Amino acid sequence: MDTLAVQKILVPIDFSDSSMNALHTAIEVAKGQQAQLILLHIVNINPLLDIDDGKMINDANLQDHLDTHHTNLRKLADKITHEEFIDCRAFIRTGLVHSEIVRAAVDFYADLIIMGKHGLSGISEFLIGSNTFNVLKNAFCPVLTIPSHQKFEAFKTVVYPIRPVEGALEKYDLARNIVRENNAELVVIGLLDNADKKSFEMLNSETAQLNKKLKEDKMEAQTYYYYCNSVAEKVLEKTSDFMADLLIITATIDRQIQDYVIGPFAKQILHYARVPVLSIRSKSSKNTDISSVDSHDNHYPASMLGII
């Protein structure tokens, strides 16, 4: 992330418990960062996919559906603005959910997306939903995913894993701001796979760079090193051991079969973490053209109703 402050936070809202719980966290983050909140509701008008209250959405009832959610979203934005003293705005778009979230983040210059870990997909509580997963694959800004099993209002212990991968320290600036804002304890974990001990020099170099940054910023951190058979499993284990309430990772993106996929480390973390996970893509992986995101789905209209 290039800027030091989070100025605009995009929060996808589908009115599920998961998205409303994520909004609760987003409000607290916005207060701390003095950021603007942008609420976004997507109406998926694909008649084969979207069902509202057991009723299929079609051309005949689309406008009623839009009007209803427009009113609900306006009330929610107004309530946040007046009760929380936050600049909160809200928008409705039509199209495929994950594609429109990614596009909206670009259109609104969002610095951060905060969303529920799962929404309406009906999967296991701790597994990530398909829309959230696709946003993580394609978003150009950091994404904070919030589990719905509890509310997260502040982050007191932040786990910051370092692996010998490209862009491992690009998450530092945002991590520093969160740690400072929450007066949190920072736990740095250096990790090497038992099968890849040759990467020790790279990890050692990254750790030295991080220590230099921490010293310059007059920040303290506990630092631990681990060899392990599964880096992701060790991160999840230590996140639990340290009773952390935020995990910050570099989400590497691999290009396979002409599709962008989240690397296995990030994928496992995102599926099984029981705390919020802040995923930050390295600059080297941010080379997707926004026009190519789900380009095979562009035949679905994408319109927007704004609430100012």
- What's the rounded mean pLDDT across residues 94-105? 94
pLDDT given for residue 179 in this prediction: 94
List the CATH number of the domain containing 90: 3.40.50.620
- The pLDDT > 90 percentage for the chain reads 57
Lowest mean pLDDT among 42-51, 114-123, 136-145, 233-242: 42-51
In a shared domain, residues 210 and 166 = yes
In a shared domain, residues 21 and 144 = yes
In whole angstroms, give the CA distance from residue 111 to residue 93. Answer: 20
Lowest mean pLDDT among 1-5, 140-144, 274-278: 1-5
pLDDT given for residue 2 in this prediction: 42
The domain of 202 spans 157-283
pLDDT given for residue 118 in this prediction: 72
- What's the rounded mean pLDDT across residues 30-57? 73
pLDDT given for residue 167 in this prediction: 77
- Neighbour-count burial for 283-294, b at 16+ CB within 10 Å, e otherwise: eebeebeeeebb
In a shared domain, residues 225 and 279 = yes
In a shared domain, residues 78 and 192 = no
In a domain, 298, yes or no: no
pLDDT bucket at 307, cuts 50 / 70 / 90: very low
In a shared domain, residues 25 and 140 = yes
pTM assigned to the model: 0.85
In a shared domain, residues 102 and 53 = yes
291 or 232, greater pLDDT: 232
In a domain, 303, yes or no: no
Choosing from 120, 151, 182, the residue where a domain stops is 151
Q: Give the pairing type, strands 143-146 and 157-162.
A: unpaired
Task: Name the one residue in this structure whose structure tokens are 């979230």.
Answer: 101
38 or 125, greater pLDDT: 38
What is the CB-side half-sphere exposure of residue 8 using CA atoms within 13 A? 15
In a domain, 212, yes or no: yes
- Token pair of 278 as six digits: 């802040």
pLDDT given for residue 90 in this prediction: 95
In a shared domain, residues 30 and 133 = yes
In whole angstroms, give the CA distance from residue 128 to residue 91. Answer: 24
pLDDT bucket at 108, cuts 50 / 70 / 90: very high
In a shared domain, residues 170 and 36 = no
**Is it the case that residue 274 has pLDDT exceeding 60?**
yes
In a domain, 145, yes or no: yes
Taking CB atoms within 8 Å and a gap of at least 24, the contacts of 236-244 are 236/268, 236/269, 236/272, 236/273, 238/159, 238/187, 238/189, 239/159, 239/273, 239/275, 240/274, 242/157, 242/159, 242/187, 243/157, 244/157, 244/158, 244/159, 244/187, 244/275
In whole angstroms, give the CA distance from residue 155 to residue 158. Answer: 7
Q: What are the pLDDT digits (tens) for 202-257? A: 999 999 999 999 999 999 999 999 999 999 999 999 999 999 999 999 876 554 44
Q: What are the pLDDT digits (tens) for 164-208? A: 887 788 889 999 999 999 999 999 999 998 878 778 889 999 999
In a shared domain, residues 62 and 119 = yes
Number of domains in the chain: 2
In whole angstroms, give the CA distance from residue 240 to residue 196. Answer: 25
In a shared domain, residues 116 and 146 = yes
Task: Name the one residue in this structure whose structure tokens are 């997306």.
Answer: 113
In a shared domain, residues 24 and 125 = yes
In a domain, 122, yes or no: yes
Lowest mean pLDDT among 29-38, 136-145, 259-268: 259-268
pLDDT bucket at 264, cuts 50 / 70 / 90: confident
In a shared domain, residues 95 and 19 = yes
pLDDT given for residue 48 in this prediction: 41
Contact between residue 94 and residue 3 where contact means Cβ atoms under 8 Å apart: no
